Structure 1
């Protein structure tokens, strides 16, 4: 009898978590993770320039593997390169570490580049339907330059995706570029780190069905933005200098 009561209790908890995750997304998504508009990208680019000295950058892209229990009859679809079962959270972050858009649920076996290609965001990026701002000159230049996303070596090089130069044969100018790009790209890594530190479920193996896991991850990303937007943002370079001098 004790085992049966515990089993019923666990089922009830799962149902509550699953339903709550759906409700959180439905209620808070329009406010704390709305679909990005051109104005959203413009504001994000302005913030990247203020904080990280990276012009025309509208966001940073990266993927995070969410550890899960092996789904029934899934074969090797969810086994990632690290050897455990996972789904991929593909996210775009702004300069302050808030998510601008997310895609959840890609097979863990896929690389970041593949996950981006299969995501809704990636498809819109390829089809030029993200409503990005028109190209504008970089500081001190006259030639227009497209707005872009910062990414690491795992992603494809595109007009709208900047990735670092290969490590071989680097010149000083290329090293400076890599350092500047890496500094801006770390905002999405900070997003993942801050979110995981608050929501410890991301450090465990989630043993629920895939749809429920997707909803939990979406709710966690949304709650991360909810918390971040009620705290102090990163300070711009000028503000940091003033604080150091006082």
Structure 2
């Protein structure tokens, strides 16, 4: 399923009179993973919510293909893009399968609804939670809940995936599984945008990286151009070391630390 591009044009947002995003322009393209990287509070989650059409910018716009995202009716928009937020809270005792089924709601009364049982099963298997299908969602661990939320987004069957720290609560193995899954979706033509704090994972899996600082973009481009010690140090206001893995050549990114005493 090939997705349209998402194009932010001079997006500006203020919250409580304080500028949160100012002059942000970038493009997320089908067939790639775009990683949003930066310090806490720099505007990453706000930008993701604007790209998703959850929040209207105070000025500027976001286009999905040739349409303005803010003008697309919510249910129609939900058939084009899925959003995974940092919060996985569900207060009611839905089972895992029932939570994943919520991803099919935008397709009710549409011809595509006929395939919902198969799509739900595929999403459960893809996120390795099919053995949890009958468990109450509130009883799961944080990492398990995160994978259920991703499965719900996959069940939505959209060509655009927007994810806010989808691996934050995951162990190493499930982090790799989720990032590989998103890579496969991008290779199949999806447009994938994710907020990520693990810089080495961003360097390994992203096609392009947007470095954000103080509500703006410091740099946007391929990993080799953006994930440098100089640019990352400016992004985080902390010195960073970037080295090549001796066997794979992948970038390993760590903070500079004082020498042990």
Q: Which has the higher strand share?
A: 2
TM-score range for the pair, normalised by the shorter chain length: under 0.3
Q: TM-score under structure 2 normalisation?
A: 0.26
> Of Structure 1 and Structure 2, which has the larger fraction of its residues in helix?
1
Larger radius of gyration: 1
Give TM-score, length-normalised by structure 1.
0.27
